[in-house]
Amino acid sequence: MSRIAIKAEGISKRYTIGARQQPYRTLRDSIAGAVARPFSVFRPRRAHVAQEDRNVWALRDVSFEIHPGEVVGVIGRNGAGKSTLLKILSRITEPTSGAADLYGRIGSLLEVGTGFHGELTGRENIYLNGAILGMRAKDINRQFDRIVAFAEVEKFIDTPVKHYSTGMYMRLAFAVAAHLEPEILLVDEVLAVGDVSFQRKCLGRIGEVAADGRTVLFVSHNMGAIRSLCTKGIVLDRGRVTHFGQIAKSIEAYFESTNNSSTHAAENDSLPHGFGPILITGSDGTIEQGDSFEVNTTMRIPPAAAGFTLLCVLEDPSQRNIFHLRIDSSDLKLSLPWRDNYAIRLRLPPLWLEPGLYSLWFKALYCGETVQSRILSDIYYLDVSGRSSGWNAVLSPAPRWSLEAVDAAQVCEIEAATSNT
């Protein structure tokens, strides 16, 4: 096998906003167009838009090398170019410039049912995908039962997949991609779909593929999964590679760039008053489940404000509200006139959150007719690491369990004491 599994050299991809594919024109259409063309001078013309203004670069000069057996996580914010990169590596789309070489048989799962034909049954799609990967029928036969068992679609294996639910489609698509023994596996956010038990199976299977010495390129916003599965990371920001190296350093670089960004800056750009950057004491953006931590930032209050309410908000990866803490200026014993700057320090006890990426920010609501009524801070992305409960829960505490054998008389005493309270 080659010493390099994936090699990308100067890959760039440009899309044109509003571009439309030219439709197929018949001879009759061409004649009608020629007749109508002299009269088009009387029609109002749309304002000319500079071609460069219509171009959007999804990727710019992306280069890297991945060796056989490496598990590499591709991380970045929405719109950073992660999915575009995997589509180019999968030969679904061509780069505008640059080239990518992949050495080995490729299996990819970029979205639900990629490569499936809706009119074919689940059984037929398994063999079709195997043939596309260059596998022989006997090799597919050897994996067939494992694929069906993993996907849990035994009853519907001979039903056209167009009748499958999204969950069934997803399970079979992943099972096919992960079990047909590709030498290179490309996975794009597969864990965003499916229930918790299926997500655990996906993670386990990706781990098995990696343990077999195969190369995996894994796109996900789940930093816990990235950290546990991957050995290296590629950080993309606005189409460019900002970091490529060991996974711990890659995650650290991602959080540094994310937490230095101004997600809420649009509301604050023209305002002389607002919040400073958010810092978590003793953290590079990652905390353990059972850690207490301290949130720090600064705040400048408009002199014309008659009073204010200060809020701190934390949301989980599904944008569920974890807490919405608030305090009024009167409770803080602050009085007029306001000073130029205030330091905000918020001490939080161990929250025992499920592992994942959480969003934390501050909000100020002001009283007064001549001031902006609401100002938001930037978002701080907090990565909570630890052990998942495996359920769709928010909290995952570590309680101390105790079971003690008792006789019937003691049971009566306990029940009596409980009823009295």
Distance CA 127, CA 144 (A): 9
Residue whose structure tokens are 């920001």: 237
CB atoms within 10 A of CB 177: 25
Contact between residue 118 and residue 160 where contact means Cβ atoms under 8 Å apart: yes
Q: How far is CA 100 from CA 10, 30, 57, 232, 346, in A?
A: 9, 40, 17, 19, 48
Q: What is the pLDDT of residues 379-393, one digit of tens each?
A: 888 888 777 666 667
Question: Start-end ranges of CATH 3.40.50.300 in the chain?
Answer: 6-17+55-257
Which pLDDT band holds residue 266 (cuts at 50, 70, 90)? very low
Rounded to whole angstroms, the Cα distance separating 317 from 324 reads 16
Give the rounded percent of residues in the chain with a pLDDT score beyond 90.
Answer: 24
Q: What confidence category does residue 156 fall into, taking pLDDT thresholds of 50, 70 and 90?
A: very high
Grade residue 211 by pLDDT with cuts at 50, 70 and 90. confident
Quote the Cα angle for 95-98-100, to 5°: 80
Q: Which residue do the tokens 């010493």 mark? A: 3
Burial of 342 (0-12, 13-18, 19+ CB in 10 A): middle
Q: Which residues, 6 or more positions from 174, have their beta carbon under 8 angstroms from its beta carbon?
A: 109, 150, 151, 190, 202, 205
Tokens of 154: 């035994």
Does residue 87 register a pLDDT over 60? yes
| Residue type present at position 120 | L
- Label residue 10 by pLDDT band (50, 70, 90): very high
Asked if residues 263 and 363 have their Cβ atoms less than 8 Å apart, the reply is no
CATH code of 6-17+55-257, in short, is 3.40.50.300
Reported confidence tier of residue 42, pLDDT bands at 50, 70, 90: very low
- Cα–Cα distance, 207 to 195 (Å, whole number): 19
Task: Give the pLDDT confidence score for residue 414 in this predicted structure.
Answer: 81
Residue spans of alpha helices (H) in 81-134: 82-89, 122-132
Torsion angle, alpha carbons of 313, 74, 388, 377, to 10 = -10
Give the pLDDT confidence score for residue 312 in this predicted structure: 95
CATH number of the domain at 263-385, please?
2.60.40.2550
The helix or strand, by DSSP H or E, that contains position 403, with its residue range, turns out to be none
pLDDT band at 198 (very low <50, low <70, confident <90, very high): confident
Q: What are the residue ranges of CATH 2.60.40.2550 in the chain?
A: 263-385
Judged against a pLDDT cut of 50, whether residue 270 lies above it is answered with no
Answer with the residue of higher pLDDT: 56 or 8: 8
Q: Which residue has the higher pLDDT, 328 or 175?
A: 328
- Per-residue pLDDT reduced to its tens digit, 212-265: 888 999 888 777 778 778 889 999 998 999 999 998 888 878 877 776 654 554
Residue 70: phi, psi to the nearest 5?
A: -85, 145
Average pLDDT over residues 308-322: 85
Residues in a beta bridge with 345: 296
Q: Are the C-beta atoms of residues 299 and 344 closer than 8 Å to each other?
A: yes
Residue with tokens 């100020």, as numbered in its chain: 364
Contacts 24+ apart (CB under 8 A), 198-201: 198/167, 198/170, 198/171, 200/390, 201/150
More confident residue, 173 or 51: 173
